Structure 1
Amino acid sequence: MTTDKDQQASALGYRPCVGVMLVNYSGEVFVGRRIDTKEGDFWQMPQGGIDPGEDPRDALFRELWEETGVIADKIAVIGQTAEPLRYDLPDDLIGKLWGGHYRGQEQNWFLARFEGSDDDIDLEAHKEPEFCEYRWVPATTVPDLIVPFKKRVYRAVVAEFAELI
């Protein structure tokens, strides 16, 4: 049975977004613990919205800097997902995030090799930090660390980039 909430959600679109799987020379993946997570111990890779008229690759560099302080000359982009990946928000979050305009996100994922050192990471580079701490983890563990509604996307990202890592 379709509910009013289901009809409202299906009328909403997906927020254009980028995600970055940042890997170090050991093949480990950067994950950050979100400042605003109130329930659970969830970690995620850098990701964020694409501004109107912004190229996804430009959004990748901007989001990476905003969330990690890592600048463009400290990374090498080595891959991109063949297709954008979508996820839907849980029912209790629809209408509460992103001004209520979206039912989820459509993410263009990039794989980037980190060519700097941990000294190049500054979680407070942007005036509104997203992460309170970070760590490097094996790629296979990344889907286990994210909020449940994003696990399918994270599994797809790890699978698509596995040979490049």
Structure 2
Amino acid sequence: MTDKNDLPYRPCAGVMLLNADGLAFAGQRLDTTMEAWQMPQGGIDPGEEAGEAAIRELGEEIGVGPEHVELIAEAPGEFFYDLPDDLIGKVWKGKWRGQRQKWFLYRFLGDDTDIDLATPHPEFMSWRWVDPHELPGLIVPFKRKLYEDVIAAFSGHLTRA
């Protein structure tokens, strides 16, 4: 069995995407049997900046291009989560213990029809707009603290519905 303390964190970028009503995008993951929702996020490629990865992930995961978003804020520092022990060695080809994420807050300038989950490598089966403060209750438990930290980092830009 792999000792998770010997494994590095996977570098990732995440996006909180807000619509005109201040609601955040949440997508229901395709690759799980439980009801798992999350915001767009993914790995940072070698040589890629976190901000570039965030925009790329929006396109890859929800079909939203850079012309449909406007940067509001970048969270200071990075946020971390560890995979549960039963997933160590099973996901990401066993190379990572969890993720270290750089988060960005974007305003969505498009229409709901600009969101397209039928991308070449789909990640979500459905999506909805939610109050950002509801996100920790929708996410898988091992990512909950990270989502709470992201919301706290962007709190000055978020309004309660």
If the TM-score is normalised by the length of the shorter chain, which range does it land in?
over 0.9
Q: Map of 1:84-123 to 2, 5 A cutoff?
A: 84-123=78-117
Q: Is 2:41 the counterpart of 1:29?
A: no
Aligned to 2:13: 18
- Alpha-carbon shift at residue 163 of structure 1 (Å): 1.2
Aligned to 1:9: 4
Normalization by structure 1: what TM-score? 0.93
Aligned to 2:124: 131
Normalization by structure 2: what TM-score? 0.95
Aligned equivalents of 2:27 and 2:51: distance in 1?
A: 21
Query: What amino acid maps onto 1:28 in structure 2?
Result: L
Q: Mark the runs of 5 or more structure 2 residues left unpaired by the alignment.
A: none
Which of 142, 145, 152 is equivalent to 1:149? 142
1:102 aligned counterpart, secondary structure: coil
Aligned equivalents of 2:149 and 2:124: distance in 1?
A: 23
Q: CA RMSD in A?
A: 0.9
Runs of 4+ deviating beyond 2 Å: none
Percent identity, aligned pairs only, is 51
Q: Deviations over 1:88-138 (max 9, x none)?
A: 0000000111111100000000000000000110001x2120001000000
Q: Deviations over 1:58-106 (max 9, x none)?
A: 1011001111100001000111111110000000000111111100000
Aligned equivalents of 1:69 and 1:47: distance in 2?
A: 13
Q: Mark the runs of 5 or more structure 1 residues left unpaired by the alignment.
A: none
Aligned equivalents of 1:163 and 1:12: distance in 2?
A: 35
